[in-house]
Homo-oligomer: A and B are copies of this chain.
Amino acid sequence: MRVLVLGGDGFCGWPTSLYLSDRGHDITIVDNLSRRNIDNELEVQSLTPIRPIGERLRVWKEVTGREIGYENLDLATEYDRLVRLLEEVQPDAIVHFAEQRAAPYSMRTTHSKRYTVDNNVRATHNLLVAMVATGSTAALAHLGTMGVYGYGWSGSAPIPEGYLTVKVPTPDGDLEREILHPANPGSVYHMTKTLDQLMFAFYAKNDGLRVTDLHQGIVWGTQTDQTARDERLINRFDYDGDYGTVLNRFLMQAAIGHPLTVHGSGGQTRAFIHIRDTVRCIEIAITNPPPVGSQPMVLNQITETHRVRDLAKLVSEITGAEIANLPNPRQEADENDLVVRNDQFLALGLNPTTLSNGLLEEVSQIADKYKHRVDPTKIIARSTWREGMQTSEDLITEIETGE
């Protein structure tokens, strides 16, 4: 298949591009390098030494003989170039990762709130309009988030895959209706994914676009079989307070002797997936698109759920790290249960990498190996979700790297 990977230089996009290329697909990456630019703005860098996109692509060709195309293009502002690209490439599938994807960053400043909405909504809408304008019948797979659902909303009922069957009381008795699961986003970032859902529903209904929305859990892990083939292909690993996701943050903290930072009681239950499974899910999604004329297909892209404090305990047991409880910046329940359906991916053949078999490798091959690159002043989350919110001081300001 000819596949466009929008946001193909990012944490999920890069390993997806290599995986799909390795599987024989013809890949073109579209990326405006905004994630690298935000690193500059935040004065932080990936724990792992990622290479410039041009070097990445040269090395991939050197190692595998396979060529990946690349276009530096801003989807939110360069509509005409996007149209020309769709006409040139005529993709069979489009994978859309091209959105600002950190909740804390989206809450950081008025600028970052506005950037997140302006960038994400326009990128998605421009893409949909451009697909209609060029008559594209490509299968579109979009990275959504489990965060569209909110948590603890439906009691003991598991979170369904996108659509919820409800009963609507009417004078003639209850009416059964399938609805898009009510949205309860916890940040401006998550909110943009709830806006995306409504845009997908409209363009699927009005123009017959074929869309799969992948409500992904928290990704952990760094490497895939492809990114591990050469150090110059290494994937990014974010550990900072804005972009570092919880499990990767714990692993890095353990490696440098920093306490594991748990927000609130740590009773929040979250859904997880390894990056190796993310890339597999993407291929499954684009090779099994919904038919023209159907509503968007929604898949929950997760493989297991854990309470945050249980994860901290697990990492602490492996590594001996201490645990520190910090104020929770989010407006959310301190404790929640979470049961999530992911039947569709399992039925389509996904065989998950679980925490129990991937965690130690991650500690030794990534966190320990690159800990000398950590800036300890970037670890604590400082985005304030709302007026007057508490944050924590730095817990350590110097690290022992053992070197």
The interface of chain A, by Cβ under 8 A from chain B, is 79, 110, 113-114, 117-118, 121-122, 125-126, 129-130, 132-133, 135, 153-157, 164-172, 174-175, 177, 179-180, 182-183, 185, 188, 191, 194-195, 198-199, 201-202, 205-207, 331, 385-387
Contacts and interface: CB of A to CB of B under 8 A. Distances in A.
A101 to B, nearest CB: 17
A295 B113 CA distance: 21
A134 to B, nearest CB: 10
A194 B183 CA distance: 12
A294 to B, nearest CB: 14
* Central interface residue in A79, A113, A132, A172, by most chain B CB within 10 Å: A113
A156 B172 contact: yes
B170 A157 contact: yes
B172 A155 contact: yes
Contact of A331 (B133, B206, B386): B206
Contacts of A191: 198-199, 202
A179 B182 contact: yes
Copies in the complex: 2
Contacts of A167: 166-167, 169, 174
Contacts of A175: 154-155, 157
9 contacts: A110-B133, A155-B170, A157-B171, A157-B175, A166-B167, A166-B168, A180-B182, A191-B198, A198-B198
A290 to B, nearest CB: 18
Nearest to A199: B191
Contacts of A180: 182-183
Nearest to A198: B194
Contacts of A156: 170-172
Contacts of A169: 157, 165-167
A120 to B, nearest CB: 10
A129 B115 CA distance: 11
In the A-B complex, list the 5 residue pairs whose CB atoms are closest, starting with the nearest. Answer: A157-B170, A166-B166, A167-B167, A179-B182, A155-B170
A153 B177 contact: yes
